[in-house]
Amino acid sequence: MKLRTENEAQTKEAGYRLGKLLKKGDVVCFYGELGAGKTTMIKGIASAIGIEERDITSASFTIIAEYKKGTVPFYHIDLYRIEHGSADEIGLYDYIRGDGISVIEWAERLGEETSERCIKVRIACSNGEERDIEIEGVEI
């Protein structure tokens, strides 16, 4: 499925709609350049499961941020600072497909086997605040 959002609010709304479809054990892999809107869309997903969007920030320096305030545990994983294929070393697989929902920024740094079993979200800047979003694995 492809869609275009025109501003940050619409990008969050797309995330919210996706978040309403997610269940325990789901993994959403995000792909896109710096500033593409990955964290913005993740804020929408988090709000759909009862986590305040203001609590969600880029996880770049913590790698894995855990939120247990919502209806299901929520794991925001950011692999920006991880070498390609070294996810085993940080215990990432303890979170994936576990008791919560995992969202992974910079998912291209996962091993192929894991990323193939994810809902894939590709975000690209189009013009100004516009974003082209492609979602594979679920229709929102």
> What order of strands is seen across the sheet that includes strand 131-136?
2-5, 131-136, 119-125, 27-31, 101-105, 74-78, 64-67
pLDDT at position 24 is 92
At 40-80, the pLDDT tens digits run: 999 999 999 999 888 887 755 678 889 988 889 999 998 88
3-state secondary structure 88-102: HHHCHHHCCCCCCEE
pLDDT at 26 (0 to 100) = 93
pLDDT at 92: 77
Q: What is the pLDDT of residue 116?
A: 63
7: left (phi over 0), alpha (psi -120 to 50) or beta: beta
DSSP state letter for 128: T
Residues of the chain predicted below pLDDT 50: none
Do strands 27-31 and 119-125 pair parallel, antiparallel, or not at all (unpaired)? parallel
